[in-house]
Amino acid sequence: MSTTEPDALLGPADIRELAAALGVRPTKQRGQNFVIDANTVRRIVRTAGVREDDVVVEVGPGLGSLTLALLEAADRVVAVEIDDVLAAALPSTIVARLPERVANFSLVHSDAMLVDELPGVEPTALVANLPYNVAVPVLLHMLDRFPTIERTLVMVQAEVADRLAAAPGNKVYGVPSVKANWYAEVKRAGSIGRNVFWPAPNVDSGLVSLVRRDPPKTTATKREVFAVVDAAFAQRRKTLRAALAGWAGSPAAAETALVAAGISPQARGEALTVEEFARIAEAKA
């Protein structure tokens, strides 16, 4: 792995200068908040455990702050960017800041939710500062579509980080928690302050680590299990007997499935593990 100059990464002045040259202003519509602190992106790469043989996919690279840090550490980086101006500019930034790593970088100009293949070798890691407004669906899509992703570290809104990493019984445990657990062991991996972003968001951010694991052993499909999860949390204050009535066809049918799965009909979705949701899906008549 070649060494790089200390100033290869982007600082606050670099970010603003680059944005001004491109006529770019971060937009709320796309949940854009650019990281302007080199120490923060180094910390993200370090916390992600990026290795020299990793092929890292990054969603929403923006102006390239994290991209450059990833290129310093990984074998290859594939960046997925939806914004026309940012996608057009990013390769030039790589050429200017890390010319010796250009051959190890690929850009996919697309909506991440529509990406079902990536150039070159399949990715081994996902590291990204995910736009706040699409963080969960993008994360779940990437984990689903690219099973070779072993390790993931995403920076998301603190509230979303808490939901993703929540355990059963936690008041913020919900659909994102259960679905993320289908794919991976999930845990909080740190907090990020507001002053490392431009513009500074009005919320704090958090890091979430996801380490791939085998999904629960079940005869039900992922779609069938996720349908139970969605139904259970659509009316989270109701008992599962009531919440799953529409899914099962009636409250009585829901109770039958729950009893067959060994789950109390009076339980609520927030108390169940992903394995228990899988048992319910299996038990549907």
Q: Are 30 and 84 in contact (CB under 8 A)?
A: no
Q: Are 196 and 260 in contact (CB under 8 A)?
A: no
- pLDDT at position 198 is 84
The two structure tokens encoding residue 25 = 């202003």
Residue 76 has pLDDT above 60, yes or no: yes
Distance, in Å, from the CA atom of 174 to the CA atom of 166, rounded to the nearest integer, reads: 8
pLDDT 10s digits, 87-126:
999 999 999 999 999 999 999 999 999 999 999 999 999 9
Closest CA to 143 of 229, 226, 240, 70: 226
153 bridge partner residues: 127, 209
Place 24 in a pLDDT band, splitting at 50, 70 and 90.
confident
- pLDDT at position 202 is 85
In eight-state DSSP terms, residue 202 is S
pLDDT 10s digits, 200-252:
888 899 999 999 999 999 999 999 999 999 999 998 889 999 999 999 999 99
pTM for the model stands at 0.93
Distance, in Å, from the CA atom of 177 to the CA atom of 47, rounded to the nearest integer, reads: 21
What value does the mean pLDDT take over residues 171-200? Answer: 95
Q: Which amino acid is at 107?
A: L
Nearest-5° angle of CA 244, CA 250, CA 255?
Answer: 60
